[in-house]
Chains A and B, each alone.
Chain A
Amino acid sequence: MNGVSRRRLLAAAALAPVLAACGGRAEPEAPADGVPRGDLSVWLHQTRAYDAVFTPLVEKYTREFREVGVKPLYIPVAQLDTKLLTAFTGGSPPDVFRIGGWTVPGHARKGRLAPAEPSLSGGYDKAAIDSLTYEGKVYGVPTDYTLCYLYYRRDRFAEAGLDPDKPPSTWEEVADYSKRLTSADGEKVGLQWILGNPQWTVMQLLALVKGKGGTILSPDGSKATMATDAGVAALRFYAGLGNAKLSDPLSAFGLFAGGKAAMLVSGLFAMDLLPTLNKKLESGKVYDIAPMPRFDAGPAVVPAYTWGWAVADKSEIRHTAWHFIDYLQRPDVAAEQLREAGSLTPITGWEKLEGADRKAIEIMAASAPHADFGPRTPVWAEMAKALTDAGDAVAHGKKTPEQAAQDFDQAMRLAL
């Protein structure tokens, strides 16, 4: 046997699967006939409105492409990231999953995501695609895209003697209106921030910090920059609005729905959410939306985010996975998603999609040039947590803005 003993041959045979598992894995090739086939596992967060669109779509897709099976797994949005992380760590991620654009750098840096097929990433809003890009590679296609609005209660404005047709357009006006909308006992307030929620804290403080001319992290993401005049001023403004002690299981959304809060910063999805919390909430009558405020003489900053459909790097049927995603993103499906679920797929020309509240789309289209997706950092979760700690601490009066800003910068020094 040319010098190779039987024992060595057996050992090599025994080790082969182990070595194969440890070694680099060849990228799965697309089938020669281009026909999608295989069983796709799909993880997404569940909303009742989106299910009504997604479930029939899956049935239609599997009828059309009979060699594909789709197994969706609906996961509560708060648990999706953790479940994905444990699946990645355990080496058994789903083929297709929904992912927040803000988590893409962290996962992409660790090689967990498959780059999007070039043909897929062309027909989308550039800002949305950019938010799913890391180091020049696109790792997903956008879905459920939103820019922030100022939601306000017309009824509360009228009660306070404010004109419901003239919502505040600057943060200074928001502060002034809030004073007039706040009851003596503090049980009713003007603007109520969404506290304790990392994603919303980042978006709310992003608008304030950048509006004051500062940043949360330095442009290269290497250090935190909250302990600056702009950062401290933003935290001071943040602490001055709302009542941190007001309680509702759905946070500021519940307080707004119940009328305790007269203003709220939120995205497009809230237009569908709010009537489910209070049937009386009718857009244009009981509540309304307005563009995000800006500081007097400050730049316009409109916080934005997008979810995306992504494919695991470990998926053995990537071609099928991207084929299915492409099917979900067709313009007719995008229109249906917007109409039925209030979920905007930012395909090119999304401004003309029919079915959603026209005013909401027009405000979004006008705000789009100022869309800001926040710091793009692989340590986004730590940054968001540290910023939430800072925001909550000043809102509860536990720390001064200066101290909270310094603590944020210190926490980020350890993380970055």
Chain B
Amino acid sequence: MTAVQLRLGRTATLSGQGQRRAEGRAGGLLALPAAIYFGVFWLLPFLSAAYLSFTRYDLAGMPEWTGLDNYRKMVEDPGFWNSAQVTAAYTAGSVIPSIVLALAIAVPLSKPGRLNGVLRGLMMIPAVMPLVATSVVWRIIYADGGPANAVLGLAGLAPVSWLTDDGIALWALVIMVTWKHLGLFVIILTAGLQGLPPSVYEAAALDGAGPVRAFFSITVPLLRRTLLFVLVIAVVGSMQAFIPAFLLTGGGPAGATEVLPYYMWSNAFAFERMGYASAMAMVLLALLVVLSLVQFRFLRGGGDE
């Protein structure tokens, strides 16, 4: 028998079952705002998009049910396959270097010291800059005669057309987003590294393990969960990237930077094919869920908890 404070200030004595019911009601009430938020801003749009993906809807009149037509069309659409390939290259090209570089920077920065604290703060500056502002800055950096070509000149290399050469433009975007997200990944990995128990390193040192051996045999395995988190947000972020292509290259040259979110946007808001764009969004969502599950499958276990 437990005393439960009820709404009107009365104190009542309830059985175990009654208490569970009351707690359930209270829990439900507390969860209600989050449930409403989830329902209105996630579930409804998701269900709408899922429904639209089976329709032909040109932003006028009512959507017309077409079954799997949009999905069939996607298979035949060379624009979709081009953007899927571009997205895959963009994701691989930005995620792997970002994480490797972030880890390389985080290891020394995770050590105590005032200078390291300042450097960690500085690393975050690009991450907190709005992506639109970043894109404008990098447009200047990549201009003919801009800082990027000046750096190449100092290295004795010929200038390149960063944003108009179809073989380079995608990598120009990759460099920009790597620079942008590096600081955030460094901070997350630094936090993970600082949480690792020093006693393990002390034991390894006593056993004669050097810094390289300790890094690969202790740091990386113990940091798996943090790495998994960084990997998942990096992959999801890269596969949803839209602004760099929209602002720096407009998907060009010759479709070389037309990532899937940009192609979806074109279909939705330039061609007014909302049904087809929704179908692509569903495919992208499914792909992200599968990729995230695979990442969890391979990297979970062990951990830096």
Known interface pairs A88-B59, A112-B60, A245-B165; A414-B143 also in contact (CB < 8 Å):
no
Known interface pairs A245-B164, A379-B271; A389-B79 also in contact (CB < 8 Å):
yes
Known interface pairs A85-B269, A385-B266; A411-B79 also in contact (CB < 8 Å):
yes
Asked if A392 and B59 make an inter-chain contact with CB atoms under 8 angstroms apart, the answer reads no
Contacts of B255 in A (CB 8 A): 389, 392-393
Asked if B60 and A111 make an inter-chain contact with CB atoms under 8 angstroms apart, the answer reads yes
Question: Which one, B235-243, B246-254, B293-301, is touching chain A?
Answer: B246-254
Asked if B271 and A196 make an inter-chain contact with CB atoms under 8 angstroms apart, the answer reads no
Q: Chain B nearest CB: distance from A384 CB in Å?
A: 9
Q: Chain A nearest CB: distance from B135 CB in Å?
A: 12
Q: Which listed residue, A110, A195, A245, touches B58 by the CB 8 Å rule?
A: A110
Q: Which listed residue, A106, A388, A393, A414, touches B77 by the CB 8 Å rule?
A: A414
A244 within 8 A of B: yes
Q: Which listed residue, A89, A385, A414, touches B270 by the CB 8 Å rule?
A: A385
Q: Chain A nearest CB: distance from B130 CB in Å?
A: 17
Known interface pairs A247-B163, A396-B166; A407-B143 also in contact (CB < 8 Å):
no
Contacts of B163 in A (CB 8 A): 247
Q: Which listed residue, A110, A195, A381, touches B60 by the CB 8 Å rule?
A: A110
Contacts of A85 in B (CB 8 A): 59, 269, 272
Contacts of B60 in A (CB 8 A): 88-89, 110-112
B162 within 8 A of A: yes
B78 within 8 A of A: yes
What is the 8 Å Cβ interface bit string for chain B, positions 174-191, against chain A (1 contact, 0 not)? Answer: 000000000000000000
Q: Interface size class for chain A? A: 20 to 34
A88 to B269, CA, bound (A): 12
Q: Report A68-101 residues with CB < 8 Å from chain B CB.
A: 81-82, 85-86, 88-89
A296 within 8 A of B: no
Contacts of B78 in A (CB 8 A): 407, 410-411
Asked if B271 and A381 make an inter-chain contact with CB atoms under 8 angstroms apart, the answer reads yes
A395 within 8 A of B: yes
Contacts of B144 in A (CB 8 A): 247-248
A89 to B78, CA, bound (A): 28
B161 within 8 A of A: yes
A contact patch SS: helix
Interface size on B, residues (CB 8 A): 29
A86 to B144, CA, bound (A): 35
Asked if A245 and B161 make an inter-chain contact with CB atoms under 8 angstroms apart, the answer reads yes
B73 within 8 A of A: yes
Asked if B253 and A196 make an inter-chain contact with CB atoms under 8 angstroms apart, the answer reads yes
A106 to B271, CA, bound (A): 9
A136 to B15, CA, bound (A): 79
Asked if B269 and A398 make an inter-chain contact with CB atoms under 8 angstroms apart, the answer reads no
B139 within 8 A of A: yes
Contacts of B270 in A (CB 8 A): 81-82, 381-382, 385
A381 to B61, CA, bound (A): 20
Known interface pairs A110-B58, A110-B61; A415-B254 also in contact (CB < 8 Å):
no
A342 to B272, CA, bound (A): 33
Q: Chain A nearest CB: distance from B245 CB in Å?
A: 12
B76 within 8 A of A: yes
Q: Report B15-67 residues with CB < 8 Å from chain A CB.
A: 58-61
A415 to B272, CA, bound (A): 11
A368 within 8 A of B: no
Asked if B254 and A392 make an inter-chain contact with CB atoms under 8 angstroms apart, the answer reads yes
Q: Report B128-186 residues with CB < 8 Å from chain A CB.
A: 139, 143-144, 161-166
Asked if B269 and A244 make an inter-chain contact with CB atoms under 8 angstroms apart, the answer reads no
Contacts of B271 in A (CB 8 A): 379, 381-382, 385, 415
A349 within 8 A of B: no
Asked if A393 and B254 make an inter-chain contact with CB atoms under 8 angstroms apart, the answer reads yes
A333 to B228, CA, bound (A): 65
A389 to B77, CA, bound (A): 13
A395 to B255, CA, bound (A): 12
Q: Which listed residue, B73, B139, B166, B266, touches A398 by the CB 8 Å rule?
A: B166
Q: Chain B nearest CB: distance from A88 CB in Å?
A: 7
Q: Report A385-403 residues with CB < 8 Å from chain B CB.
A: 385, 388-389, 392-393, 395-396, 398
A249 within 8 A of B: yes
Q: Report B188-233 residues with CB < 8 Å from chain A CB.
A: none
A195's closest neighbor in chain B, by CB?
Answer: B253
A396 to B165, CA, bound (A): 8
Asked if B269 and A106 make an inter-chain contact with CB atoms under 8 angstroms apart, the answer reads no
A130 to B146, CA, bound (A): 46
Known interface pairs A106-B272, A393-B254, A396-B254; A247-B79 also in contact (CB < 8 Å):
no
A246 within 8 A of B: yes
What is the 8 Å Cβ interface bit string for chain B, positions 260-294, against chain A (1 contact, 0 not)? Answer: 00000010011110000000000000000000000
Q: Chain A nearest CB: distance from B152 CB in Å?
A: 14
B267's closest neighbor in chain A, by CB?
Answer: A382
Asked if A414 and B73 make an inter-chain contact with CB atoms under 8 angstroms apart, the answer reads yes
A1 to B290, CA, bound (A): 63
A247 to B144, CA, bound (A): 6
A396 to B164, CA, bound (A): 9
B166's closest neighbor in chain A, by CB?
Answer: A396
A415's closest neighbor in chain B, by CB?
Answer: B271
What is the 8 Å Cβ interface bit string for chain B, positions 72-91, against chain A (1 contact, 0 not)? Answer: 01001111000000000000
B143's closest neighbor in chain A, by CB?
Answer: A249
Q: What are some 22 contacts across the A-B interface (CB < 8 A)? A: A82-B269, A82-B270, A85-B59, A85-B272, A88-B60, A106-B272, A110-B58, A196-B252, A245-B165, A247-B144, A247-B161, A247-B165, A248-B144, A379-B271, A382-B271, A392-B252, A393-B254, A395-B254, A398-B166, A398-B254, A407-B78, A414-B73
Which 8 residue pairs of A and B lie closest in terms of their CB atoms, listed nearest first? A110-B60, A392-B254, A247-B161, A196-B252, A247-B164, A396-B166, A396-B254, A245-B161
